[in-house]
With several copies, the nearest count.
Chain A
């Protein structure tokens, strides 16, 4: 936990190609001093978990706009668990109706950032949970 920079995987699960938000977040986190692994579009749950493992990341950020989050996120959480990287902090963004938040929290997603969230808020969130994690 004593490494210099927080490592974040920014991933786009599913088939949707709208990567504007993911790229903005990725760049904002990088500008905030984090190390970013950006996967590009069309990542399967298996691929995402594999990269999270290989790259030994602290945080996985999932961006999805196609509405497939309720189907794909459980598969991703499952894959992370199978690969033994379920200790990472998983956060999500995109077009996700508020009524889906409880189900997503329940499956272990730690935070959900809707459209219009200032990027600084996400930076702050990650810094805060990483600091808490370091303490515990």
Chain B
């Protein structure tokens, strides 16, 4: 509950050095770089991908032309869950919510004409992250790019898939192994790669509160760090490449306070729990995607207002990378016009609003500092609760986070239905509105074409090499060696994602839903 007034008394206990400190210094409450946007603006990186590798490549080139400064790849559901486009379970899903990638050839097409040493690429991929990363590495090698220069992110955050998003495949412990395989491989070969992007975004999207969003993500983060330490990795060798993804909702100050609190808490977790000494290991670097579920179908231009508020929240909280949801997303995939407007939203805030002129401009505000502390305390309580349940994985297996989220989701829904929470155009100020006339539809022929393409690739490859590489993958999967080189070998032989995942499904077993309802 927000009070009517906050005064110096509300932050009487605030010790500047301990609670805030200087930007670029532990505990990083005011930001992880000393000059923040004055030094360099955040990366503008719209989430995008659909239909086919060619079509998505065209969209990426368009966005780069429009002034976007990074790429963010959306994969379709079969690719995320490890089915080839011709698998029965892929029916109707090919190219729908992202680009289908069956083999290395699709990845090569996706980045045709985009030099991979010049661009940073974020890939929303989790269960199949090592496979897609291997394809990205192979595509870069074919471009003649030194892979040590590759810059980007694999989401690679499987725990939130069990909690909220649903694209898991294997049992958690096997998934965690793949996650840490990426940590280990990249710390050797891709020093600039963000090996994981631990997400609160989807947790919030599933209906959590702001505090739950951060708490469950941080708890997952703790689990990954522990898992990596448990397999013998040195915390300083991988912790600096951990990154995050959260969303911003409409409540401007809550969102800002949430992210400032998260930065401070993570720094303290890394230093106090894991003994990280290196400042870089304690830095909470985050991408923000504005909240998709806050956008509504009714009166769609209203969503531009919401996205602007959310973008401001993100920028004011001090972030590294940003994607703005498009106003037509509650109706269809974002059209080119809508995605351009999302980018323009970022650019107007970057270049016209003045909010990027100074670091952490809200620091010192009685309200914002109070709220940062209050949310921080609430997040901490959740983390302690998860610790007491045996950590994030155990808590997921018990359905704890899922149940908490569902409670919040239902509470919010009933507040909307009772009118306590106003959603303009939905439960108040409703009115007829002009329909959007330009909706983006994925051509129904896409699935057939992708299947043909897959068949062609399979027809042209060296089958013996495929068989050998898949056999090797199976062995590596069984023994516990790092899987990345084996994936790379398969990928370069044009083995399909389905072929590789079928092997892993056999070796690792398949996770059924932790059904909480």
Q: Do A and B touch (CB < 8 Å)?
A: yes
The interface centre, meaning the residue of A38, A69, A115 with most chain B CB atoms within 10 A of its CB, is: A115
Interface locus among B170-178, B182-190, B281-289, B292-300: B292-300
Please, which residues of chain A bring their CB within 8 A of the CB of B517? 23, 26-27, 38, 40
Q: List residues of A (1-38) whose CB comes within 8 Å of B's CBs.
A: 14-20, 23-24, 26-28, 38
B165 nearest in chain A by CB position: A17
B166 nearest in chain A by CB position: A17
Interface size on A, residues (CB 8 A): 35
Give the CA-CA distance A16 to B74 in the complex, in Å: 14
Q: Are the C-beta atoms of B91 and A17 separated by less than 8 Å?
A: no
A41-B166, A41-B513, A114-B297 are contacts. A24–B97 as well, Cβ < 8 Å? no
Q: Are the C-beta atoms of B92 and A23 separated by less than 8 Å?
A: no
Q: List residues of A (90-136) whose CB comes within 8 Å of B's CBs.
A: 95, 97-99, 114-116, 118-120
Give the CA-CA distance A2 to B164 in the complex, in Å: 39
Give the CA-CA distance A38 to B206 in the complex, in Å: 17
A38-B517, A98-B435, A119-B417 are contacts. A20–B293 as well, Cβ < 8 Å? yes
Q: Are the C-beta atoms of B97 and A16 separated by less than 8 Å?
A: yes
Interface size on B, residues (CB 8 A): 46
Give the CA-CA distance A72 to B96 in the complex, in Å: 13
Please, which residues of chain A bring their CB within 8 A of the CB of B167? 15, 17
The interface centre, meaning the residue of A17, A38, A71, A98 with most chain B CB atoms within 10 A of its CB, is: A17
Q: Are the C-beta atoms of B205 and A71 separated by less than 8 Å?
A: no
Please, which residues of chain A bring their CB within 8 A of the CB of B331? 95, 97
* A84 CB-CB contact with B under 8 Å: no
Please, which residues of chain A bring their CB within 8 A of the CB of B426? 116
Interface residue SS majority, chain B: loop
Give the CA-CA distance A34 to B426 in the complex, in Å: 26
Query: What does the 1/0 interface line of A51-86 toward B look like (CB < 8 Å)?
Result: 000000000000000111111100100000000000
Give the CA-CA distance A14 to B167 in the complex, in Å: 12
Q: Are the C-beta atoms of A120 and B442 separated by less than 8 Å?
A: no
Please, which residues of chain A bring their CB within 8 A of the CB of B293? 20
B412 nearest in chain A by CB position: A24
Please, which residues of chain B bring their CB within 8 A of the CB of A38? 515, 517
| Shortest distance between the CB of A109 and any CB in chain B (Å) | 15
* B115 CB-CB contact with A under 8 Å: no
Give residues in A with beta carbon < 8 Å to B: 14-20, 23-24, 26-28, 38, 40-42, 44, 66-72, 75, 95, 97-99, 114-116, 118-120
